[in-house]
């Protein structure tokens, strides 16, 4: 790509206002992305581009605009995208600095469109909420209260409000009647911060829930800042529901979806849309992962509804694309679609699905380009080479996984910074690359061979295979060759974050509505 095509901030902004398809891709690692980016930028790091791009930008002639902040990543990403078959790739003129100098608004954190939308919902609908102190008082009085946690189950297990039950956001309208059969039971919806508490509570309000409902104001962050104790490692989950409850919930969810302007589609409609060469169509199954694995539509991706609404930019990275949602009861899909429609998406729900349509089984598998086929070695061979002292192991896994456990002596590397990392690794006669499964590592073999001029091998089955063989493991940040920028440390994860960071995060969220107004491209409409 000797003469790269350029797109300006004005070009992108106008396309957003015209509701055209926009794929604005930030190819930096997640931590710098979270420091500053345009509202509808999607973060697909250069390090993992091949693993994520086909699912997140499925149409090869999508107009993709990539950018960085002067690190030289965007040019490499554009070349790689063209090699992968994308035909309309351009660089953002002058990168992130150009966006800012042209007057473009910059946002912090991750999943910002959803978080900003949640704040807009609360400001316009005055979603009811209670403070951490008020909820604690109700619990202390043993009042008729049910606290439901709208996050993913694994997040709930990390920390939860005492006595709460895990009910991820899209499940609330479906499950609540069975969990709280007494209409006088007060329902408190929480997440770690604000967004999923607000959206979950407002979902119940929109669906006409008879119980009094409120969001836990500021979630587990607010709970922690109030000096109150959380539980850890709990496993209380929602229960199955009767057909009567399911039918009643489906009727309520359909009314909400209709009010929001959600479209209806059949399988025939979906197939016609998927054949349209000029439009991107995402197909998402918004049920639980367990239900998805038991049976799903061909080509569908498992995106539980609450997380889809929370992380829309991660799953649907082409703003302006069409989204089609599927479930087997009409509740999860219609409630999730109602929120996506309000967020400006062209969204439809599949109707008239029978059990035979859910013909595929198993977990979702990301679409991948042809995989490089480097020479592989077994864990036993690697153990022998390491004992001889002439081999260096490079681990391309997520830094958190590396710190948790890795092959003794392995160096942690970010693929996009491989040249810098190599300067911090002692010379070797040969190199062996790994990651959890060796999937990402196999894309780096040729790069390292060219940089080092030495033989480079892939560990068969990755670090997981090494550990399965009962070979030694090491823990901690023992050999980090570059800074751990692959993961933004979220102030709402865990309970060991500084209180200043937690309060700063809340203050940031409170300011998002004002930022939306300055940006002017969001297209949100709250019903």
pLDDT at 433: 98
Question: Tokens at residue 488, please?
Answer: 């933004």
* C-alpha pair distances (Å), 216 with each of 124, 142, 222: 18, 17, 8
- How does pLDDT run across 193-215, given as a tens digit for each residue? 999 999 999 999 999 999 999 99
Query: In the predicted model, what is the mean pLDDT of residues 456-468?
Result: 98
Domain assignment present for 523 = no
User: Cα-flanking dihedrals φ and ψ of residue 391, to 5°?
Assistant: -130, 140
Domain assignment present for 321 = yes
Question: Tokens at residue 359, please?
Answer: 């013909």
Domain assignment present for 31 = yes
Give the residue from 187, 216, 240 where a domain finishes: 240
Among candidate residues 270, 317, 244, 258, the one with its CA nearest the CA of residue 33 = 317
Radius of gyration of the chain (CA): 24
Question: Tokens at residue 318, please?
Answer: 């082409």
- How does pLDDT run across 145-159, given as a tens digit for each residue? 999 999 999 999 999
pLDDT(411) > 60: yes
Q: How confident is the model at residue 110 (pLDDT cuts 50, 70, 90)?
A: very high
Q: How confident is the model at residue 489 (pLDDT cuts 50, 70, 90)?
A: confident
Domain assignment present for 306 = yes
Domain assignment present for 171 = yes
pLDDT at 1: 47
pLDDT at 510: 86
- 381 & 343 share domain: no
Cα separation of 476 and 404, whole Å?
6
- 10 & 58 share domain: yes
Range of the domain at 146: 117-240
- 64 & 125 share domain: no
pLDDT at 491: 77
- How does pLDDT run across 344-398, given as a tens digit for each residue? 999 999 998 999 999 999 999 999 999 999 999 999 999 999 999 999 999 999 9
- 127 & 224 share domain: yes
**The model's pTM:** 0.95
pLDDT at 495: 61
**Domain count within the chain:** 4
Give the residue from 62, 81, 110 where a domain finishes: 110
Task: Please state whether 438 falls in left (phi above 0), alpha (psi between -120 and 50) or beta.
Answer: left
- Say which CATH number the domain at 189 has: 3.40.250.10
Domain assignment present for 343 = yes
* E strand map for 175-321: 186-190, 213-216, 263-265, 281-285, 301-302
Torsion from C-alpha of 235, 241, 247, 249, nearest 10 degrees: -30
- 47 & 130 share domain: no
Domain assignment present for 246 = no
Domain assignment present for 262 = yes
- 225 & 313 share domain: no
- 121 & 231 share domain: yes
- 381 & 463 share domain: yes
* Cβ atoms of 144 and 182 closer than 8 Å: yes
Q: Which residue has the tokens 């791009």?
A: 53
Q: What residues have CB less than 8 Å from 24, skipping those under 6 apart? A: 12, 38, 40, 41, 42, 65, 67, 92, 319
- 204 & 106 share domain: no
CB-based burial label for 13 (10 Å; 0-12, 13-18, 19+):
buried
- 70 & 126 share domain: no
- 326 & 291 share domain: yes
- How does pLDDT run across 299-337, given as a tens digit for each residue? 999 999 899 999 999 999 999 999 999 999 999 999 999
Give the residue from 67, 87, 110 where a domain finishes: 110
Query: In the predicted model, what is the mean pLDDT of residues 440-460?
Result: 97
pLDDT at 505: 83
Query: In the predicted model, what is the mean pLDDT of residues 468-490?
Result: 96
Q: What is the DSSP letter of 194?
A: S
pLDDT at 494: 65
Query: In the predicted model, what is the mean pLDDT of residues 434-446?
Result: 97
501 against 413, higher pLDDT: 413
pLDDT(2) > 60: no
pLDDT at 499: 83
- 175 & 275 share domain: no
Q: What angle do CA 173, 177, 180 make, to 5 degrees?
A: 120
């Amino acid at each position: 790509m000797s003469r790269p095509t350029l797109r300006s901030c004005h070009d992108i902004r106008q396309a957003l206002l015209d509701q055209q398809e926009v794929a604005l891709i930030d190819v930096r690692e997640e931590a710098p992305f979270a420091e500053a980016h345009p509202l509808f930028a999607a973060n697909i790091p250069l390090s993992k581009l091949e693993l994520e791009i086909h699912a997140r930008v499925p149409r090869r002639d999508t107009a993709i605009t990539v950018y960085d902040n002067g690190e030289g990543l965007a040019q490499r990403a554009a070349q790689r995208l063209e090699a992968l078959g994308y035909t309309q790739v351009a660089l953002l003129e002058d990168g992130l600095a150009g966006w800012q100098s042209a007057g473009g608004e910059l946002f912090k954190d991750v999943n910002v469109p959803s978080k900003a939308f949640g704040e807009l919902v609360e400001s316009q609908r005055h979603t009811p909420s209670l403070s951490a102190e008020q909820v604690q008082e109700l619990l202390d009085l043993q009042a008729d209260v049910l606290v439901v946690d709208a996050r993913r189950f694994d997040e709930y297990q990390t920390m939860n409000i005492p006595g709460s039950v895990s009910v991820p956001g899209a499940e609330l309208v479906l499950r609540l009647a069975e969990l709280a059969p007494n209409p006088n039971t007060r329902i408190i919806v929480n997440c770690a911060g604000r967004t999923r508490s607000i959206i979950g509570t407002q979902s119940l309000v929109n669906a006409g829930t008879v119980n009094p409902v409120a969001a836990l104001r500021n979630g587990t962050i607010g709970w922690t800042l109030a000096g109150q104790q959380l539980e850890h490692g709990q496993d209380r989950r929602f229960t199955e529901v009767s057909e009567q409850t399911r039918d009643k919930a489906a009727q309520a969810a359909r009314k909400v979806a209709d009010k929001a302007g959600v479209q209806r589609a059949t399988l025939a409609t979906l197939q016609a849309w998927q054949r349209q060469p000029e439009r991107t169509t995402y197909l998402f199954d918004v049920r639980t992962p367990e239900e998805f694995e038991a049976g799903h539509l061909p080509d569908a991706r498992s995106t539980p509804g609450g997380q889809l609404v929370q992380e829309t930019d991660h799953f649907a990275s082409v703003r302006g694309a069409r989204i089609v949602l599927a479930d087997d009861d009409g509740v999860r899909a219609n409630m999730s679609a109602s929120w996506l429609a309000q967020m400006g998406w062209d969204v439809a729900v599949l109707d008239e699905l029978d059990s035979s349509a859910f013909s595929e089984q198993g977990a979702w598998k990301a679409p991948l380009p042809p995989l490089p086929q480097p020479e592989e070695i077994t864990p036993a061979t690697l153990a022998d080479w390491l004992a001889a002292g002439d081999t260096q192991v490079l681990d391309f896994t997520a830094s958190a996984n590396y710190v948790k456990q890795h092959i003794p002596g392995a160096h942690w590397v970010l693929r996009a910074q491989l040249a810098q990392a190599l300067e911090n690794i002692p010379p070797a006669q040969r190199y062996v690359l790994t990651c959890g499964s060796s999937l990402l590592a196999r894309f780096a073999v040729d790069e390292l061979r060219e940089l080092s001029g030495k033989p480079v091998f892939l560990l068969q089955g990755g670090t997981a295979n090494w550990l399965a063989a009962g070979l030694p493991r090491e823990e901690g940040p023992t050999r980090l060759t570059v800074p751990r920028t692959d993961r933004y440390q979220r102030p709402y994860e865990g309970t060991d974050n500084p209180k200043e960071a937690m309060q700063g995060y809340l203050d940031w969220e409170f300011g998002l509505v004002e930022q939306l107004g300055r940006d002017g491209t969001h297209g949100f409409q709250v019903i």
